[in-house]
Amino acid sequence: MPPSLGGVCSQSLNSLEAKPASASSLIPGEYMLSRNEMLQYLRAHVPVIAPSMLKCDFGDLRSEAERIDSARLPLYHLDVMDGHFVPNLSYGAMVIAGLRRYTQTPIDAHLMISEPGRYLDDYLKAGCEAITIHLEAVPDPANLLQEIRKHDVVSGLAINPDTPIEAAEPFLEFCDLLLVMSVNPGFGGQKFIDSVLPKMSRAKEVAGDRLLVSVDGGVAAGTIGLCAEAGADIFVAGSSIFDHDDYAKAGAVLSEEARRCGLQA
């Protein structure tokens, strides 16, 4: 089951935590956190280490979910790729709905797809507590971000390494989470691009602590601390979790560096 939320004691959260993580009877949407609960949950778990499921063993998704939940990693990050907006093709809402049946830990769907609004209902029904869309796919995302919020789901906006933070600034009021890509989207295992770090600091300057800042790409020991110093709250980790036998130990190493460097910022 997911890590506890401390002071948040709503009925839906209590129901979520009362069920075993491996329960096969979970129905997508039945035990989801509301938007406000999800935001409190994420803030309570900063630094949030979010395993990037692109690197997991999809041949045994149930076991991967059990290992992640046993490691008490607080957020699943699902990279959805359509082979059009990005060159790679990954998975869609059906796989997320399948994962939802194995875990109650919150899910963030990162939609690296063209026309994300066209498929929004599919990801809402799949059981995502957060849905992140790309500014490059929706140049004027205000309406779609507000639509996500209207469904009581955390709204996220992602920007690629070459997109200036100034392009996102007019839309920060409509999103709860800004995802700064620190690699070019489409494939895992790329080298961290450190020139994106000022975007994280600038986002916090513009939107304040209300905005959660997430970083995705090349996050590992040696780079996660830089992101924490720049103001990141959520750290999407692929190889730095899944290349290790002990997910709990791998997550603890990342969390400790992020916490130490974040406190020094």
79 given a catalytic annotation: yes
d(CA 53, CA 191): 18
Pull the structure tokens for residue 2.
Answer: 């997911």
Which listed residue (69, 108, 176, 216) is catalytic? 216
Pull the structure tokens for residue 253.
Answer: 């190493």
Spell out the residues 6+ positions from residue 3 whose beta carbon is closer than 8 angstroms to its own.
45, 72, 74
216 given a catalytic annotation: yes
Pull the structure tokens for residue 233.
Answer: 């709250």
- Report yes or no: 12 and 37 within 8 Å, Cβ to Cβ: yes
Which listed residue (79, 82, 176, 233) is catalytic? 79
**Which sequence positions are flagged as catalytic?**
79, 216
